[in-house]
Amino acid sequence: MEDVAPQLLEAIRKDFMELLGEARVKEMNYPAAEDFAEEVGEALVEAFRRNISAGKLPDGKMYWNIADRVIRPMLEDEHKLVADAAQKVQQALNQAAGIGMKAQRAKLDEDRVNGILNKTAAAEDFSDVAWVLDEPVKTFFRSVVDDTLRRNVEFQGKAGLQPRIIRTAESHCCKWCSRLGGVYAYPDVPKDVYRRHERCRCRLEYDPGRGKRKTLWTAGDAAQKKALAKKQKERAEQRKEKIKRLEQTDLDKMSLPQLRKLAKETATEYYKSGLSGISFGGHDMEKAAEDLANQGSRTSLKKDIRSMRKKMDRSDAGKSESGIIKVQRKLPDIQIGRSVGAKAKNYDIMGLSTGEMFHLAEETRIQNVEVFAGKGSRTPYRKAYKYANPHGGNPEDWQHVKGHGIIVTDDGDRPAEIHWSQCSGHGKHDFFIKNGRIRI
């Protein structure tokens, strides 16, 4: 039996290149990428139609070994063409939005490729399955663009951004497509949004949302963000007024009941400031302040009041004109155990510039741990509601923390500055390394 595969492949490639011509992505957006994928699909379908028929195949059948050497390489090669084009579109969109992240590329869907090959090889007469090399092939290439969008939305969402997907149903579409039309913000994106049936021409578009990492508030959180900032400012002013009153108070002339009352008020403000290094719930904080006031003697109460006042004075002295404290709060080191240990802990750490995942070297520590946003720093943590909503805890108790650890890379262990979010009783989340924070 003559091996027809090499000649078929050569003829299909030649016709495809002629049919595709100078086609390219005309604009840097997803609709333009979809149009390009459509052109690629149509050109390949026509090249298949011109060169593959029952009359040109042995016994009129598309044998598996022919499909594997003719159809597979064409699908794989043109997948690369569309995937590269879609990745360039996403990279351009990232740059336009000021997002310094590498665009993610769609991977080849081997199951879909094998599905097309299996169907063409299943019939005794190729004429019965020739349709498989038509619309399913076009859908295959459109799905490459959809997969590029999905991968980038998920990648950016996990990195702390809030991208959106806009799905626009074509006119006179089916009920399924009509139901999926709308705007979706990560992570609330149903998987069906990225899917399409044959002959589906619905449009998928990418929107960076409110774009950069500094604006992670949903529409409903904007008012909460403003209220939180106002509340923090009011507390700072109240604390400042109380400190002034304390400075004018002669503790030596106060009675024991007066000292106890003052000690409770001072301790409450001190604990709220986060300077104690102790994490309280609202009730525990009040009780701790009351216990300190009730159990102390005149001498110890005066000493405690003066000590707390001094620390709060120093804290206010460390503020800038905007009211933000410059001094950062130190935290204990974090021990990384061995993977075989029952209490061993390690974390997934994302490199924001590449999306690569790292882990900490075993039996090392995250050192020089400090809070520079959120509880204990007086700098508002703008992502607080993003973590409090799914993980629990009061938004005011969440912290943005950084430290220095040793991560495992392909080039060996390297020191790195690591960031994450945490709240006492609610865990540590979203570890990442900023650009340029790995030292070689």
Cis peptide before 187 (omega within 30 of 0): yes
What is the value of pTM for the model shown? Answer: 0.49
Please tell me the predicted confidence (pLDDT) of residue 16: 95
Strand 329-331 to 349-351 pairing = unpaired
Contact between 202 and 196 (Cβ < 8 Å): yes
The domain limits of the chain are 5-207, 227-317, 329-438
What pLDDT score was predicted for residue 213?
A: 33
Beta pairing, strands 349-351 & 427-438: parallel
Residue 373, burial from CB neighbour count under 10 angstroms (0-12, 13-18, 19+): buried
H helix or E strand, kind and range, residue 400: strand 399-409
Q: Can you give the pLDDT of all 440 residues of the chain as single tens digits?
A: 678 999 999 999 999 999 999 999 999 999 999 999 999 999 999 999 999 999 999 999 999 999 999 999 999 999 999 999 999 999 999 888 888 888 999 999 999 899 999 999 999 999 999 999 999 999 999 999 999 999 999 898 888 888 888 888 776 777 777 777 788 888 888 878 877 776 777 888 888 875 443 322 333 445 555 666 677 677 667 766 766 666 656 778 888 888 888 888 888 877 776 665 554 444 466 777 787 888 778 888 888 888 887 777 665 544 433 343 344 467 888 887 765 443 446 788 888 767 778 888 887 888 888 987 888 887 888 888 888 888 888 888 889 999 888 888 877 777 888 999 999 888 899 888 875 455 43
Distance (Å) of CA 298 to CA 268, 287, 309: 18, 20, 16
Could you tell me if 308 and 267 are in contact, meaning their C-beta atoms sit under 8 angstroms apart? Answer: yes
pLDDT number for residue 290: 82
Report how far residue 379's alpha carbon sits from residue 239's, in angstroms, rounded to the nearest whole number: 16
Sign of the Cα pseudo-torsion (30, 34, 35, 37, in order): positive
How is residue 86 written in tokens? Answer: 């879609």
Buried b (16+ CB within 10 A) or exposed e, 50-88: ebbebeebeeebbbeebbebbbbebbeebbebbbebbbe
What number of other Cβ atoms are within 10 A of residue 218's Cβ? 16
For residue 159, give the nearest of 92, 226, 94, 85 by alpha carbon: 94
